Chains A and B, each alone.
Chain A
Amino acid sequence: MAFFKKGSSFVENLPKIYGLYTGGFLLFFALMAISEKFGMSAKTIGIMFVSFTVVIYAVIGWLSRTMQVDAYYVAGRQVPPVFNGMATAADWMSGASFVAMAGGIYLGGHAYLAFVVGWTGGYVLVATLMAPYLRKFGCYTVPDFIGTRYGGNLARFCAVIVLVIASFTYVTAQINATGTIAARTLGIPFHIGVWIGLLTILLCSMLGGMRAVTWTQVAQYIVLIIAYLLPVYWMSIKQGFGMFPHLEYGEAVHRIMQLEVADKVGVLLPTAADMAQVHATFPGLKALTVLQATPGEGPIAAWRFVTLAACMMIGTASLPHILMRYFTTPSVRAARVSVAWSLLFIFLLYFTAPALATFTKLQLLDPNLATSIIGKSFAEVSALPWIQNWSHIGMVALKDFNGDGIVQINEFFIRGDIVVLATPEIAGLPYVISGLVAAGGMAAAMSTADGLLLAIANALSHDLYYKIIDPKAETRTRLIVARVLLLVIGALGSLVASFKLTGILGAVAWAFCFAMSGLFFPLVLGVWWKRANRAGAIAGMVVGLATGSWYLYMVKWGGMVPWWGMDDLRFGMVGATASLVAMVAVSLMTEAPDKETQAMVDEVRIPRGKTILASSH
């Protein structure tokens, strides 16, 4: 098989290969749609979708196996910008983006859009401050940059610690998501689903490292974007908003704003006693109490919006599994262009999420639509198949608190995480769409988990094992150590995920805050401030991480009143500020870096010339 091997002909053939793949996937989709017409059961369709796509990813992983160091760590630095953009988009958009975001907007309204703004705006920081310079450096991992720029094993070690804490927090949430989807579609218990999820994740990355992850991520992006966009177009056409839902759903937003008044959203609230009764049997469910498009008034609401957006943006620019994707492009110029492509591909999903939330809400609220439930009788609504399916597993609940037999806005409860997965059923679309969406969610969670596991395992095998413990290790040993670590960390992640300690979204926001607390300023100032030195960088990482963790602990469990409304999702603001102050102060109090280091920074700043680190190191 010549596919996925090093060589220019492979790179030239990429559009053809993925074009065929996309065609094949659409053909499979059509086949499933026809099978549904001929009576294939919903459950079989779900299993077919998930297993078909997972097998394809595994085959790509197998074809990309390698025993070369630069192929394993940076995919041989030959990934064209557009394809690297797709891979980054898949790497980036996690189970949280795919599964939870539209649901969050459905329940949280405008305030929740801070995630949408934050998770796209972060790429402006990546492109202007980080990616091209790290590419010029020629590192394999993010700690590789810290270790070489500042010198010494201690700085490298600190960077490894921050990386592991941030990425591990993130990866458990992703394994949780793969487990949840595998469990639901395959009909197996969650704790088994988690291990099956892990197995599929490892199939994609074990043998080929970064190269395998790159080419499976491209494939996963194609599946997840089709799965996200198709239901929205379908609903838009069905509801009469036309072929361009993104331009035309303004009308739907207005309609919702009228219905919100009629249905008393935000006025008719479930009482504390009612909520307690619901949560006793169905934890985590919420009634719709927040307006869709109306932002909270006053400076506190505005401050909460911008601080959340800031944490997500700065976190984006500090997350190692994203930064390392730009190490794989053929040149510095390609790295820059690739960030732009990444954002374009990410944008396609993120500007669709609010549209999806809007259409789904309209389906439920608008009495002119056959699918609406608010204002209908309890007998009628509780007989709907989707209400039965989802309330059966505790994700949806109906309670007639005032006993009038009519469903009111404060008598319908839903879990935000299921809005995307349930939308095809809510809107009465064929089951083949639900199968497609499950496959998309699986692709999103798997691709992010792969990137994260690889980031952790690479930092431990390259920076800790090879650079610090045994610098004389042979290539073969290094790559075997890398794979063993991948297995061990994956197993640890699954073990933690199977305890279900955290929700998907909370864990994701924490990962961003950990990363920005420890890594943002040491990375940025390493390029942009020549005076930054080793002592300063170490202080920045240690103080930032320690302050951030302390604040998180105090606000979440220690009973401290948050400063200016910055809750546990925003602790990165405190951590990163402490990191900046510590890094600048300590750098200025200690000696400036030597001539050699300053010359190195000069070299990093221009694209021309050799990378700082040799291409294979």
Chain B
Amino acid sequence: MATITAANREAHWHKTRNLMIGHLVIWFIFAFVVHWFAPQLNKISFLDFPLGFYMAAQGSLIVFVVQLFVFAKQQDRIDREFGVAEED
């Protein structure tokens, strides 16, 4: 196994951290911000649902699920780019 240089580790961790922050920003929006404005959103109709209710009952949940599959893919790409992924 090739050794991994310190610079490589640093660059890998830098990208990993940015990816984490990016996903947590999305998470924060759909976990908290959207529901803070639920009364206002409820005035909008989506698929026949009041939107504020819809986001709490389905919308945020769908975002979380999709987000995690995308996250797994993205992190794996970063790991491979810096040669720190596990051998297949």
Contacts and interface: CB of A to CB of B under 8 A. Distances in A.
Interface in A92-131: 110, 113-114, 116-118, 120-121, 123-125, 127-129
A14 interface: no
B60 to A, nearest CB: 5
Given A331-B86, A333-B85, A127 B32 contact: no
B87 to A, nearest CB: 8
A120 B4 contact: no
B23 A608 contact: no
Given A340-B71, A350-B61, A306 B24 contact: no
B23 A606 contact: no
A608 B84 contact: yes
Interface string A329-344: 0011100110110011
B31 A313 contact: yes
Instruction: Point out which of A128, A292, A347, A354 has the most chain B C-beta atoms below 10 A from its C-beta.
Output: A128
A336 B77 CA distance: 13
Interface in A130-187: 132
Interface stretch (A243-251, A411-419, A480-488, A561-569): A243-251
A201 interface: no
B7 interface: no
A302 interface: yes
A250 B44 CA distance: 12
Interface in B1-48: 1, 4, 9, 12-13, 16-17, 19-20, 23-24, 27, 30-32, 35-39, 42, 45-48
A121 B35 contact: no
Nearest to B21: A128
A102 to B, nearest CB: 11
Contacts of A607: 79, 84-86
A401 interface: no
Nearest to A113: B56
A404 interface: no
Interface residues of B, number: 51
B72 A340 contact: yes
A257 B43 CA distance: 13
- Among A250, A351, A528, find the residue whose CB has the most chain B CB atoms closer than 10 A: A250
A297 interface: yes
A293 interface: yes
B76 interface: yes
Given A253-B53, A295-B42, A309 B71 contact: no
B82 to A, nearest CB: 8
A121 B30 contact: yes
A306 B35 contact: yes
A127 B75 CA distance: 11
Contacts of B20: 128-129
A117 B68 contact: no
Given A116-B57, A116-B61, A121-B27, A293 B68 contact: no
A117 B61 contact: yes
B76 to A, nearest CB: 6
A347 B62 CA distance: 8
Interface residues of A, number: 56
Contacts of B12: 605-606
B48 A297 contact: no
B57 A343 contact: no
A602 interface: yes
Given A313-B31, A343-B65, A608-B84, A306 B49 contact: no
A293 B64 CA distance: 22
A332 to B, nearest CB: 6
B56 A110 contact: yes
A343 B68 contact: yes
Given A110-B52, A608-B1, A121 B64 contact: yes
A240 interface: no
A117 B46 CA distance: 19
B42 A294 contact: yes
A253 B52 CA distance: 12
A293 B53 contact: yes
Contacts of B61: 116-117, 120, 347, 350-351
Given A117-B61, A302-B35, A247 B47 contact: yes
Given A117-B35, A123-B64, A309-B35, A608 B72 contact: no
A336 B76 contact: yes
A107 B30 CA distance: 24
Most buried by A among B19, B65, B84: B65
A609 interface: yes
Nearest to B31: A121
Contacts of A347: 61-62, 64-65
Contacts of B36: 302, 305-306
Nearest to B58: A351
Contact of A606 (B4, B35, B58): B4
Contacts of A124: 23-24, 27, 31, 64, 67-68
A310 interface: yes
Contacts of A306: 31-32, 35-36
B50 A253 contact: yes
B79 to A, nearest CB: 5
A254 interface: yes
Nearest to A357: B57
Contact of A110 (B17, B30, B53, B62): B53
22 contacts: A110-B53, A113-B56, A113-B57, A117-B61, A120-B64, A124-B27, A124-B67, A250-B46, A292-B53, A293-B52, A295-B53, A333-B76, A333-B79, A336-B71, A340-B69, A340-B71, A343-B64, A343-B68, A355-B57, A606-B12, A607-B85, A607-B86
Given A306-B36, A605-B13, 11 more contacts: A110-B53, A110-B56, A116-B57, A120-B64, A124-B67, A250-B54, A306-B32, A343-B65, A351-B62, A607-B85, A608-B86
**7 closest cross-chain pairs (CB), A and B:** A250-B48, A113-B56, A340-B68, A250-B49, A293-B53, A354-B57, A606-B84
